[in-house]
Structure 1
């Protein structure tokens, strides 16, 4: 099965202009990890990042939450650095938040979960690096 097409550049740019708070699922405390580099870039670009990692208390100076459902305030987007097999649970949790978008990083995709997220009103980007797209569009 082919993955659904991601939104076009114009719609991604619009989304990234509207989004302010990004929960980063699977954020690593290790500076050499992609998740850490992307989250650091997003923070430096003016976004509020919310680390989601059950093994950590704080990453990049931000309080860590064990899951999306533990975040006590609204988030605009969920950025996922977990293996594709974990995406269905992330989608379930995301749908219980008020997030408007789900971003699955490069190498992360799940047809059925992505389709469910779309059908429930989320903007879904799969298999794409948020930092690379942000740098390209801004």
Structure 2
């Protein structure tokens, strides 16, 4: 079952490197403003988007497979029907500990696969909201 206790979510927020799949280059969109907030809080944010070359002054890989750095958390800003494919890509990596889907995004089957593979899953929650509530 995806984590939902304050203690478990706070533990996830202790990780440092977050790959944001679906990160947007457009200020005002949640997929831009939430990762930007996380950057401002000191997280190492890796934007992932096949339609952008640079976000937050960083080069943007097209997919998780193209991320050279170690990833702790994969944060998903894509529609729920795309989550399964993203989770499968995350599971191909040995370094991903957490799969987090943003507010309004969930895929219970993909969450089950991730949990069965030993990953922590947070679904349908905003990282900025949870950070402000539990850490800031």
Work out the CA distance in 2 between the residues paired with 1:105 and 1:121.
20
Q: Which residue of 2 aligns with 1:135?
A: 132
Q: Which runs of 5+ in 2 are unaligned?
A: none
Equivalent residue in structure 2 for 1:9, among 6, 11, 26: 6
* C-alpha deviation, 1:63, in angstroms: 1.4
* C-alpha deviation, 1:16, in angstroms: 1.0
Equivalent residue in structure 2 for 1:31, among 18, 27, 34: 27
Runs (4+) of structure 1 exceeding 6 A deviation are: none
Work out the CA distance in 1 between the residues paired with 2:89 and 2:67.
11
Equivalent residue in structure 1 for 2:59, among 55, 60, 63: 63
- TM-score with structure 1 length normalisation? 0.94
Is 1:126 the counterpart of 2:123 in the alignment? yes
Q: Deviations over 1:21-46 (max 9, x none)?
A: 10000011000100100000000000
Work out the CA distance in 1 between the residues paired with 2:44 and 2:24.
16
- TM-score with structure 2 length normalisation? 0.95
Q: Deviations over 1:67-105 (max 9, x none)?
A: 000001210000000000001100110011211000000
Q: Which runs of 5+ in 1 are unaligned?
A: none
Q: Deviations over 1:80-133 (max 9, x none)?
A: 000000011001100112110000000100010010001101110001101000
Aligned residues: CA RMSD = 0.9
Q: Which residue of 2 aligns with 1:108?
A: 105
Between the two proteins, the alignment pairs up a number of residues equal to 134
